[in-house]
């Protein structure tokens, strides 16, 4: 027997409509590429989103059309999130840090009709223009006064698109499983793969975030997303923030420690979200100034594993660290590590131990670990296995790519994350490595992540990576690659001794290579693929 309740489709546009009615004075503050700071509210944003939606329709945009963005974190990019999907089209965010080849591939694969571009990235498109689809139209995200001279044929001004359009709109009705957004992986193995988010999955993900992180996602809190809007929905903040009344502080293109400190200090940011490399830069600035930015009480770290030293340093200064984990294919949030209240009385070191894990699942995400044969393993915190997930916010396949989709799902329909992990009896997930980053030496497995976390505790280390290099006797051996801090140069033996205190002798890398900087992927993670290519013959 079915229940007798109305069925209304979950739609992304309803989030901004709700914010405009319930939290009309909630702020959106943006550092603009034009050089100034822009301030607006959810009430005003809803009006501009309606104008933009009408403007898109005037350009002939239809439901299902892919509309691309190449932009920083700012209010115009936020408006595009809602206007595009609100009329039934698909918001395709492009990562500007991708290689030219990858960018050309995904624009072509997605069959984008329009491409909205920030001033900063106009030169990129000008260089690629001859190779882009001939019918692709460009809209430059600025006003008439700042409109640049450009070789992009027929380039249109963003503000002209809104000018004269109505500030209200009756959002169209369509099924909640209609596509709302498209985001491609960075393609470290093979071509980039597209994840196609639905209205239903996006709204459910926003609800899940608000339920899971209620101390941060609440009315009046000011959050700075350093995680970019062009990468996996800025971890869901553009949808969860208006739903919960959070004010958003967008940093634009200036993501160095000094610029972030000044912005956070000036805007009284309480919580900031980003990858570990960003927080190392901010910590250096905090150390130099001898204080935290005013109001800072929380950071969310994701994208790659946070080291114990990073968590410990912020926590010792009174800043709560929420270590989170997820994937593009998961919308993206899978787990978060704000500790339950019963752990408040734990000793400091015990709390840091817990916070170093990836935390517990968010509502709607199921997890399991299995062995090589696909047999489920116990959640005892000791037995590692391949991590699989399922849920309403997790992809069921890659966009127009059956070949890439088939290998990543098991017979029960669970998605393979590619991570090796343990799950303990309290539900805490601990990712021990990416399956491709495990090192098999003499038949025994070595976790590169464990070694990196130990090395990062050395005060002279700014960043590091451990990779496998070929070895005639042992098949593979670990190589430690270190980026030292500017004011310190650790010695090899110091690092060997540090590791020897914590791991077995055979797990200690054979050598340490010092570099000026580590190569990063398009999403700000250390590119181990690049490092393996660079150091392939290191042990030969």
Q: 3-state SS of 120-156?
A: HHHHHHHHHHHHCCCCCEEEECCCHHHCCCCCCCCCE
Judge whether 414 counts as a catalytic residue.
no
Q: Closest Cα partner for 250 from 378, 84, 81, 72? A: 72
Q: Which of 21, 111, 153, 445 is catalytic?
A: 445
What DSSP string runs through 478-518? EEEEEEE-TT----HHHHHHHHHTTS-GGGS-SEEEEES--
Distance CA 318, CA 226 (A): 20
- Find tokens 């209240």 and name the residue: 341
Q: Which of 159, 329, 452, 538 is catalytic?
A: 329
Answer for the pair 503, 457: CB distance below 8 angstroms, yes or no: no
Q: Which of 17, 69, 185, 417 is catalytic?
A: 185
Which CA distances in Å does 193 have to 291, 509, 520?
Answer: 42, 34, 19
H-run or E-run covering 257: helix 257-267
With b for 16 or more beta-carbon neighbours within 10 A and e for fewer, the 262-301 pattern comes to ebbbebebbbbbbbbbbbbbbbbbbeeeeebbeebebbbb
Distance CA 202, CA 376 (A): 30
Phi, psi at 497, each rounded to 5°? -65, -40
Distance CA 533, CA 271 (A): 37
Q: What radius of gyration do the chain's Cα atoms show?
A: 23
Q: What is the DSSP letter of 173?
A: P
Judge whether 445 counts as a catalytic residue.
yes
Helices within 290-433 (DSSP H only):
308-316, 348-355, 402-405
Q: Which of 215, 268, 436, 440 is catalytic?
A: 440
| Structure tokens, 228 | 């970019």
Task: Indicate which residues carry an active-site annotation.
Answer: 185, 329, 440, 445
């Amino acid at each position: 027997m079915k229940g007798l309740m109305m069925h209304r489709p979950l739609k992304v546009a309803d989030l901004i409509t709700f914010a405009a009615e319930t939290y009309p004075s909630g702020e959106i503050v943006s550092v603009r590429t034009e050089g100034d700071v822009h301030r607006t509210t959810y009430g005003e944003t809803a009006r501009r989103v309606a104008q933009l939606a009408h403007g898109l329709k005037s350009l002939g945009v239809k439901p299902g059309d892919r509309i691309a963005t190449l932009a920083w974190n700012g209010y115009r990019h936020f408006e595009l999130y809602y206007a595009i999907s609100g009329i039934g089209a698909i918001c395709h965010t492009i990562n500007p840090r991708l290689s030219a080849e990858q960018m050309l591939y995904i624009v072509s694969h997605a069959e984008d009709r329009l491409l909205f571009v920030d001033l900063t990235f106009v030169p990129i498109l000008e260089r690629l223009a001859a190779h882009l689809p001939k019918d692709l139209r460009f809209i430059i995200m600025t006003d008439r006064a700042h409109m640049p001279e450009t070789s992009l044929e027929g380039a249109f001004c963003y503000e002209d698109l809104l000018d004269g359009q109505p500030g209200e709109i009756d959002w169209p009705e369509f099924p909640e499983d209609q596509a709302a957004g498209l985001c491609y992986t960075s393609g470290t193995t093979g071509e980039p793969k597209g994840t196609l988010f639905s209205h239903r999955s996006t709204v459910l993900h926003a609800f899940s975030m608000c339920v899971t992180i209620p101390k941060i996602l609440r009315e009046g809190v000011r959050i700075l997303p350093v995680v970019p809007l062009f990468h996996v929905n800025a971890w869901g903040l553009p949808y969860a923030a208006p739903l919960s009344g959070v004010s958003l502080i967008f940093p634009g293109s200036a993501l160095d420690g000094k610029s972030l400190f000044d912005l956070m200090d000036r805007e009284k940011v309480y919580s900031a979200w980003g990858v570990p490399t960003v927080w190392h830069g901010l910590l250096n600035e905090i150390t130099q100034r001898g204080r935290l930015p005013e109001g800072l009480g929380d950071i969310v770290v994701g994208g790659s594993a946070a080291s114990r030293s990073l968590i410990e340093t912020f926590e010792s200064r009174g800043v709560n660290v929420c270590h989170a984990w997820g994937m593009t294919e998961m919308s993206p949030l899978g787990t978060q590590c704000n500790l339950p209240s019963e752990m408040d009385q734990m000793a400091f070191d015990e709390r840091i131990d817990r916070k170093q894990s990836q935390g517990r699942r968010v509502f709607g995400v199921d997890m399991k670990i299995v062995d090589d044969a696909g047999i489920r393993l116990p959640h005892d915190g000791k037995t590692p296995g391949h991590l699989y997930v399922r849920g309403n916010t997790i992809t069921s396949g890659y966009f127009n790519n059956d070949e890439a989709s088939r290998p990543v799902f098991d017979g029960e329909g669970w998605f393979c994350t590619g991570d090796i992990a343990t799950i303990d009896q309290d539900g805490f997930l601990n990712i021990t490595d990416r399956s491709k980053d495990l090192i098999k030496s003499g038949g025994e497995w070595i976790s590169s992540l464990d070694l990196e976390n130990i090395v990062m505790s050395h005060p002279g280390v700014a960043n590091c990576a451990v990779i496998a290099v070929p070895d005639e006797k042992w098949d593979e051996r670990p190589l430690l690659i270190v980026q030292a801090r500017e004011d310190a140069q650790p010695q090899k033996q110091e690092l060997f001794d540090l590791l020897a205190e914590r791991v077995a002798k055979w797990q200690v890398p054979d050598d340490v290579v010092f570099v000026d900087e580590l190569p990063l992927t398009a999403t700000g993670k250390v590119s181990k693929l690049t490092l393996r290519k660079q150091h392939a013959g290191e042990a030969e």
